[in-house]
A and B are shown apart, each in its own frame.
Chain A
């Protein structure tokens, strides 16, 4: 941070531009993003993002932990979609181990992963609309988000830092009655989306602030490493859930919303359509939830159930061994990309055959998407920057790691 001290690009004798500092404490930068805007009147000449304020060195910390101890670290990267991060990491380690997860575990993961997407998109929609000036939507979105967080709390004991997915499956079976609660929520949710859309989609103020703003062409989006809804709204049809299915996504029917318009409004429409698709995936997951174990049968990797650990000598030994010594992972390396609410979330895990990862690298979508801000905003007005930041749905924890 603080290394992007702006250097004047124009001849100082002309004295036409000034540098405006936006953030890191600014309500519409969604965290601690600092932007240096070189402006000519109201028009942006140059935009320089300055990040690193939330850098906590998670990648370095991971190298000093056992494989299973890394899972809670991954929650804290992207605090709006903890389960997606858990999933990407667990899938990477499971691939390194060559481990297969039973169907019920996979379907639970899909269900919770899509609830996480709903959670994340609701926060995005609420804050994005509030940036534009629509206060009510924020309150509506957080009302539904609260329901999702309660579901997370019931299943994992935590509202945000869930750490619910473990290497080899999920931590626990969901409690009694949990599936009915999810069902009730899902039955109600399409009506809620209609409610948000009634307030925004045809609202002239909202549409005028968004349409034609922060355009990103398909070529630019690919060249600038944009991912997720930002990429799909520019007309590049990539969704890893469909293209490279993981954790059983091949069993689900869903559409991948795209748009060729490439402006902020297109990104808004794509994400709202994704909310509806996520609701459908969740419903399918609930209806087809298989019976059986939710954890892999791998006693040397997966912690035994509490009940077994208290009554069986062997389970107690495994429990003790995993907790104190961890488990070794065969040498190798894996890059595991999955589709997070913000785009391609990739975990690159290198194992040297010991119980601690040699290297864990997170390829975070916010970090990649931030680069397209320059192309989106230069030559436009300052007010459009706020709309553009909202539209790439940036999470600074994810960006800085």
Chain B
């Protein structure tokens, strides 16, 4: 099985119901989309994330009613350095969708998804703990893995693998 090149052309990706629904809702919210190795990725504007999730959740054709995962990738020293990654899942259609939001290192904060999925709580705390991305309106944004007096955010790329000596 040879690798097929990823599709990034928005016109081609409009045939996917997820992209079409998001574009119909607010075309300026979708900054980029990509179909890579059969997995669809949609980049969203930071302010649009929560509403976009509601659109995807309530659309009767899509029914992305569950949040599978929240994580983050640090592209330091590139700016915007953070990419917060959301995996949405539909328990009825059995499909995954990946949403991504780019955040700069200067003001790395984004709306929390806990009002939609209370289960986002721990995932967002983990991203906050290990990357230092802040989630607005999160009910309890404190460290979850590291001790509370820990300095720094270990999964950032400028944090050495063996820690500061």
The reply to whether A358 and B147 form a contact with Cβ atoms under 8 Å apart is no
- Chain A hits for B68, CB < 8 A: 225, 337, 344, 346, 363
Q: Which of B37, B123, B126, B130 contacts A96 (CB 8 A)?
A: B37
Contact with A along B72-95 (1 / 0, CB 8 A): 011000000000010101010010
Contact B94 A244 (CB under 8 A): yes
Contact for B69 among A224, A333, A346, CB less than 8 A:
A346
Q: A-B contact count, CB below 8 Å? A: 115
Separation of A61 and B160 alpha carbons in the complex (Å): 10
Residues 133-153 of chain B: 1 if any A CB is under 8 Å from the residue's CB, otherwise 0?
000000000111111100000
Segment from A52-60, A270-278, A314-322 that makes contact with B: A52-60
Stretch of B7-15, B22-30, B102-110, B114-122 with 4 or more beta carbons under 8 angstroms from chain A: B114-122
**Complexed CA–CA distance, A84 and B69 (Å):** 18
Assembled-state Cα–Cα distance A238/B68 (Å): 13
**Chain B residues with Cβ under 8 A from A61's Cβ?**
161
On whether A4 and B142 interact (CB within 8 A), knowing A332-B6, A350-B73, the answer reads yes
B98 and chain A: residue at smallest CB distance? A335
> A368 in the interface, Cβ–Cβ < 8 Å?
yes
Q: How far is the CA of A59 from the CA of B41 in the complex (A)?
A: 22
Query: A3–B147 contact, CB under 8 A?
Result: yes
User: What are the interface flags for A324-357 relative to B under an 8 Å C-beta threshold, 1 for contact and 0 otherwise?
Assistant: 0000001011110100000010101010000000
Complex interface: chain A residues within 8 A of B147 (CB): 1-3, 52
- A53-91 contacts to B, CB under 8 A, are 55, 57, 59-61, 63-64
Inter-subunit contact A52/B145 (CB<8 Å): yes
A199 within 8 A of B: no
Contacts from A to B (Cβ < 8 Å)? 1-4, 51-52, 55, 57, 59-61, 63-64, 95-100, 222-226, 231, 236, 238, 243-244, 330, 332-335, 337, 344, 346, 348, 350, 358-359, 361, 363, 367-368, 370-372, 400-401
* With A344-B89, A348-B87 already in contact, 5 other A-B pairs whose C-beta atoms are closer than 8 Å: A99-B1, A333-B39, A361-B71, A368-B119, A371-B118
Report B's interface with A, CB cutoff 8 A: 1-3, 6, 36-37, 39, 41, 65-69, 71, 73-74, 85, 87, 89, 91, 94, 96, 98, 117-123, 126, 130, 142-148, 154-155, 159, 161
